[in-house]
Chain A
Amino acid sequence: MSEREIVFENVSKFYGEVLGVNRVSLTIPAGITSLVGPNGSGKTTLMNLMTGLLRPTQGRINVLGVTPNQPDVLFRFVGYCTQYDSFPRGMTGYQFVYSYLRLHGKPDKESAEMAWHALERVKLTDAAHRKIAAYSKGMRQRIKLAQALSHCPLVLVLDEPLNGLDPLVRAETIALFRALAEEGQHVIISSHILHEVDAISDQVILLSSGYVVAEGQIHGVRTEVEDHPMQILIRCSKPAHLASRIFDLDTVVEARVHNDGKGLLVRTREPERFYLMLNRLVVDGVDLESVAPADDDVHSVYEYLIGPDGGSI
């Protein structure tokens, strides 16, 4: 069993007769992995299984060589920012993080230092001694993040971590995730905000109704969606002229001038071949500004695989 990856082997979880996730087999390497899917698709179930808050009905889970039913070992290197918005009664933000570190068995001074460090990372030092009950939604989100980060875990599991954050903190938090991933950590995020998922993820896991629909790097996932030809946006000076030439190519399914009149939207089943042919097609008088995939993102893949009405996204 790999000690550098998170592995799900044929994992199913049923709540009585209700399906949570079914026959999930996954390998999650280091970096940022996003779990994407509509409400009830099994994202939180997968995270709870990974952290031992739930036990699989069948199958095996292994987090860097440790099974989740060993919390005393697992949570030395795993931090989990849950979606649950409840806190132990009467605690201040500082006490919340400090007490968590004391539960790790860390001495007073070390716990205090680490707690302040974590609070600094989420920019919550000013409100550290205020009761969590008086925190705003965004502050509560940040204090949960501070708790999850406080012991410098190798695996960070974050259930909707960007919910309630204002744009500035959101950008800083994303930068923090990026930095952690670059340090070689596993950052597993569930999110509803697809353009953010797209911007930060190294790989995605698409879930629908408890099943893994697709997994891997988003480009790889997109190329596997054969039912929907790849869309390529060509920014150029004379799109109509270029369109007339492109129609001759047998790899092109559709070509239409972009709504703004400054580009051409092409649909092709063989993007690599199309790129090669495009070089030969560029004719005098057509200034080519850019050529880029137009639906090589999480949003498009999500729409193709799960559908535009997939839950609340």
Chain B
Amino acid sequence: MTPHPWSLWRAQIAAILRIEIKKTLLARRGLWIYLLAFAPAVLFWIHAGLNLRHGRICDLGRDSLVFAAMFQFFYLRLAIFFGCVGVFMNLFRGEMLEKSLHYYLLSPVRREVLLAGKYLAGVIATAAIFCSGTALALAALLVHVPRSAAEQYLFAAGGLSHVFAYVGTAALACVGYGGVFLLMSFLFRNPVVPAALVLVWESMNPFLPSLLKKFSVIFYLQSLCPVPAQLKGDFSFLAIVAQPTPAYLAVPGLLLVTFAGLLLAARKVRRLEINYGTE
């Protein structure tokens, strides 16, 4: 008896996830992604360790501003960005280069289901890495302040919601950048080109008119960050300040941008041919 398509697709996606998550998380060539993801946490833990050792008490308010700047200018714009380049650009393109994609294409899996499975695997793997990195860095922030101050921050000053917001934003960044780079992997053979293009576009975001800002991932992600980080420097006067989008619009907006990217990628994957010789 032929199973119902949805239950079949669910089973097939689960099978793809089992292969892909393991492959992404355990790949030796993906070590640099762990370095990017956990570097801030390591720095924050060193900072916490040194302060604890010398009996110094930190200003949690100032530290949280430092964290906000680190999260928005390094973590979202560089660490997660390049981490997603490394993972999502390789989901199909990497397998074409390794000449192993036919393993999937010779199975009775709809190409769209394969795309969904691989994309989900990428999101789960990158979100697991970068959300852990975010949570560890936040833990380091709280570990070297007096326990009462930490409890006060978490439970009375909305700190817990900040933690969820940062971790959630990191996960959404993986969702958004994942969709963009998966699409890019079908449009470009060399990952450096799309990565550079998207990086320039995302970096220009503060200087773009309000309407254009909305066609970027970083715009929605910054709107979700609980502590705003201001752009400083010689060109900061050029920045166009747009009202942050509320979460109830930012999250669907980001998902919509991602979904549009995945739809285009699905069109591409349907026409995908195995022609390893030309890769």
Instruction: Let me know if A102 and B18 touch, CB within 8 A.
Output: yes
* A84-B23 contact in complex given A73-B108, A103-B12, C-beta closer than 8 Å: no
Instruction: Let me know if A51 and B106 touch, CB within 8 A.
Output: yes
Residues of B within 8 A of A15 (CB): 275, 278
User: Does A76 touch B at the CB level, under 8 Å?
Assistant: yes
User: Does A105 touch B at the CB level, under 8 Å?
Assistant: yes
User: Does B22 touch A at the CB level, under 8 Å?
Assistant: yes
User: Does A122 touch B at the CB level, under 8 Å?
Assistant: no
Which listed residue (B11, B15, B98, B111) contacts A71, Cβ 8 A?
B111
Residues of B within 8 A of A104 (CB): 12, 107-108
Which listed residue (A82, A90, A107) contacts B23, Cβ 8 A?
A90
Instruction: Let me know if B108 and A88 touch, CB within 8 A.
Output: no
Instruction: Let me know if A75 and B98 touch, CB within 8 A.
Output: no
Q: Max chain B CB contacts within 10 Å: which of A74, A76, A85, A100?
A: A100
Instruction: Let me know if B27 and A84 touch, CB within 8 A.
Output: no
Shortest beta-carbon distance from A281 to chain B in Å: 57
Which listed residue (A48, A55, A84, A103) contacts B16, Cβ 8 A?
A103
Instruction: Let me know if B8 and A105 touch, CB within 8 A.
Output: yes
Instruction: Let me know if A72 and B108 touch, CB within 8 A.
Output: yes
Residues of A within 8 A of B26 (CB): 90
User: Does A87 touch B at the CB level, under 8 Å?
Assistant: yes
Instruction: Let me know if A75 and B107 touch, CB within 8 A.
Output: yes
* A89-B23 contact in complex given A84-B102, A103-B107, C-beta closer than 8 Å: yes
* A82-B102 contact in complex given A15-B275, A99-B15, C-beta closer than 8 Å: yes
- List 9 A-B pairs, minimum CB-CB distance, nearest first: A102-B15, A103-B107, A86-B99, A75-B108, A53-B274, A105-B11, A86-B100, A105-B8, A72-B110
* 15 pairs from A and B in contact (CB 8 Å cutoff): A48-B274, A53-B106, A55-B271, A71-B108, A72-B109, A72-B113, A73-B108, A76-B108, A86-B98, A99-B18, A102-B11, A103-B15, A103-B109, A105-B11, A147-B106
CB within 8 Å of B: which residues of A?
Answer: 15, 48, 51-55, 71-76, 79-80, 82, 84-90, 99-100, 102-105, 107, 147
CB within 8 Å of A: which residues of B?
Answer: 3, 8, 11-12, 14-16, 18-19, 22-23, 26-27, 98-100, 102-111, 113, 271, 273-276, 278
